[in-house]
Structure 1
């Protein structure tokens, strides 16, 4: 079947399903494949549960007119999303970066919804499947789209841009992450730059943190809206404090505007200023921007402060890499509280650099004179030589220790890669 025919079906049944556990009546089921599953096998079940049509790519499963046989289901999903994006013809912002892209996306979404009907990526569904699904959630009522783009191999940002065709874009920052896939920090920068390059080729606009030396060197001679402290910055602000929450002073046309967020960490200053800049560029008044940023509450263990009966937790346990871990440690070390504990998990996907990068963090902890440190994971356990730092090979072993109830009246930073599952310790603290 031609793409135009499938798009006609989508306009009639504008809900897309890829999981039979989440079927919506009168929707289109796309039988995607993965390493351990074949969606074609579940196509009939999807129809029985209420889907109108099932798109499959194995002939044996196309048993009646309700099945639409295509050459490749994933390609069909991506092509359908691109076609839909072209019909929408709305401003669409792509956001990527090593750290902060999900928080920045959420802040931007909060700001834009003060004026526009905005659809943004849900959670971190930011890959070759999540991006098309985000686009297909948009409809004729949508006035602005925000698409988060993640990558762990060269070429992936380019591929996602070719699906979403953004006309605006932002790279939050570049740092050491997914080195196993990128090969080096230079590989990270080259892949993230694919967003700048796509916008340059298609006369799009870049929102640029002009204070970030790496980003300033990566950008092309293209349409740029700068934020930061440079003279030509479209938006300027001053970081005031991050204890416990981040507070900033916006240099506004109506005077100084103080924005008191519910975000922990000085590193969120740049994320918030990016959202301010986007809002101002799209003519949202600064009082509405202030309100949006102050109302936003982080979730999913990202930049959260949580008070339990025994302790105060600084939760940033959704993910970790050398750049974000360094920022979190430095921010926590600068806080004035005396009773501080750090629970840090291994940083995954660093390949041959894993030992070196974990050793660098241990040196940083020592240089900050941080003594109440708990390290979790096989790499930290293998490289740590500081007798004052406790180590546990996994989170399960740490939980056994925490059940003794030794930690109370402490300020505790919790940060590590998602695969370490440090969120499991929260109920023990």
Structure 2
């Protein structure tokens, strides 16, 4: 339960210098100056921020540090090895460290410790952003919420998000994403979540992890930074890997989902209309103005946390019913006489399965069509999983398939092997080519799914109808 917390102290340049163990020549008069956060993009650095010069495989942030200062940055965190590239006047605004990335993470970790409030950490193969937005939306009915900025959920984004907090928050809600082992461990030790949430275990990024078991172990690292005995971990109780691994955890576990083991359990799920879902939890009716069981899972996590923080169930229900899907994340749109489920933000085998189920629910007795793009970052599993996608689409009874991208032929192969006629299965190299083929395939009155990884840009197909 939430306790009244004191306001955290304002972040200052002095804090940044101290916590980064830096070699700085900033004048003493500047050290008490408030900092409005840290930023690694000089193009949108604003007055009062500190620029962090990060080096990646593609670029070197040190090239933009001087520009960030000109745009109003109070100072720039740079590597001690690269201070010679700056003028004498620019050097007066530098905070020189051994490793700017580690300094960013250390500053965020120290700043987090100044907050005497609960932090909620969210990870999982899919549904992190939607769960975070649902939870934040519900909690804002009673609390001041600090949360992930945009989609900044990795080893860079999580620290940046924490450093955007103003100090007046009652609760923090942060996503934690990863595509390699031990990344969630790092983020958890920075965030120190009071409550951890794992949405599911799926094939997203399996090309990097190697197996579903490795993915599960990586997501369970969210518990590594939890040291508040009053906290708990909220797990999808319908996910067999999470249920299996929960047995060995020394934290309090609460399951959510549809199965009987779930303490937060949805029943009486129904599609109210093309755009709405209804369900019940402990006799309370809830409604979401967006179709799809995957949204109900996100709502269940929000219901649990809303009740935990003392928000009335009627307010929780009202908050959830007022949420609308974000662009390209499952919106239902009508265009050229057809109905489109536009879900082009990302895709993996688990979310594809959910999208196919939604397509069939919305279509009812109609034969739907599916325009599917590559599921990226599946590594050596790519061909097999795309072939399986083709089989799933055929089994779902879709009328036509248009597969787009490098693995389109694998989708087509799976569909045809499962009994679909070759004339009803098309392929396209890219979204521009797909847009031409889709116009010939989708007719007025059709129900069509548009689902693929972000890099395939299937929204182009919808835009050109």
Q: Are the equivalent residues in 2 in contact too, given 1:246–1:268 (CA < 8 A)?
A: no
Distance 2:19 2:296 in 1: 44
Aligned mates of 1:43, 1:207 — CA distance in 2: 41
Question: In the alignment, is the contact (CA less than 8 A) between 1:247 and 1:258 conserved in 2?
Answer: no
Aligned to 2:277: 247
Q: 1:270-281 maps to which residues of 2 (within 5 A)?
A: 270-281=297-308
Note if contact 1:126-1:149 (Cα within 8 Å) is conserved in structure 2. yes
Question: How far apart, CA to CA, are the structure 2 residues paired with 1:251 and 1:381?
Answer: 43
Q: Paired residue for 2:433?
A: 397
The aligned counterpart of 2:369 is: 341
Q: 1:307 is matched with which residue: 334, 354, 357?
A: 334
CA distance in 2, matches of 1:76, 1:105: 27
Query: 1:224 is matched with which residue?
Result: 253
Please name the residue that 2:46 is paired with: 24
Report the CA distance between 1:247 and its aligned residue: 2.3
Which sits farther off after the overlay, 38-47 or 302-311?
302-311
Secondary structure at the residue paired with 2:341?
A: strand
Distance 1:17-1:4 versus aligned 2 partners, 3 A rule: closer
> Which residue does the alignment assign to 2:450?
414
Residue 394 of structure 1 and its aligned partner are, at CA, apart by 1.3
Return closer, same or farther for 1:405/1:216 CA change in 2, 3 Å cut-off: closer
> Over residues 221-270 of structure 1, what are the superposed CA-to-partner deviations in whole Å (9 max), with x where a residue is unaligned?
32223334566754333142235234233334xxx332221222122221
Partner of 2:389: 361
Q: SS at the partner of 1:291?
A: helix
Aligned to 1:379: 407
Q: 2-side partners of 1:214 and 1:106: how far apart? A: 25
Unaligned 5+ segments in structure 2 are 1-16, 25-29, 417-421
Residues 246, 269 of structure 1: 8 Å contact kept? no
CA shift digits 1:157-207 (9 cap, x unpaired): 111111211121000010112111001111111111111344379774111
Contact 2:343 2:451 in 1 (8 A): yes
2:239 to 202, 212, 221: 212
Cα distance, 1:366–1:405 mapped onto 2, change above 3 Å: closer
- For the aligned residue pairs, the C-alpha RMSD in angstroms reads 2.4
> SS of 2:370's equivalent?
strand
- Structure 1 residue 391 displacement after superposition: 1.0
Alignment of 1:49-198 (within 5 A): 49-57=71-79, 58-62=82-86, 63=88, 64-198=91-225
Verify the 8 A CA contact 2:20 2:103 in the aligned structure 1.
no
CA positional deviation for 1:340:
1.9
Count residues in correspondence. Answer: 426
| Correspondence for 2:6 | none
Instruction: Compute the displacement of 1:59 (Å).
Output: 1.9
Q: Describe the shift of the 1:333–1:229 C-alpha distance in structure 2 as closer, same or farther (beyond 3 A).
A: closer
Per the alignment, residue 48 of structure 1 pairs with 70
Residues 9/75 of structure 1: CA separation in 2 closer, same or farther (3 Å cut):
farther
Write the distance in 2 (CA, Å) between the matches of 1:188 and 1:228.
20
Q: How does 1:252-271 map to 2 (within 5 A)?
A: 252=282, 256-271=283-298
Residues 24, 50 of structure 1: 8 Å contact kept: yes
More divergent stretch after superposition (195-204 vs 105-114): 195-204
Deviates more, 1:231-240 or 1:410-419: 231-240
> How far apart, in 1, do the equivalents of 2:150 and 2:130 lie?
10
The alignment status of 1:2 with 2:18, answered yes or no, reads yes
Q: Which shifted more, 163-172 or 223-232?
A: 223-232
For the residues of structure 1 that align with 2:285 and 2:344, how far apart are their CA atoms? 28
Query: Whole-Å Cα distance in 1 between the matches of residues 236 and 441 of structure 2?
Result: 44
2: CA distance, partners of 1:90 / 1:329: 40
CA shift for structure 1 position 403:
5.5
Structure 1 alignment gaps of length 5 or more? none
Structure 1 residues 36-45 or 380-389, which shifts more? 380-389
CA contact (8 A) 1:280 1:286 kept: yes
Q: CA shift at 1:299, angstroms?
A: 1.1
Normalising by the residue count of structure 2, what TM-score does the alignment of the two structures yield? Answer: 0.86
> Which range moved further: 397-406 or 27-36?
397-406
Paired residue secondary structure (2:255): strand
What secondary structure does 1:328 align onto?
A: helix
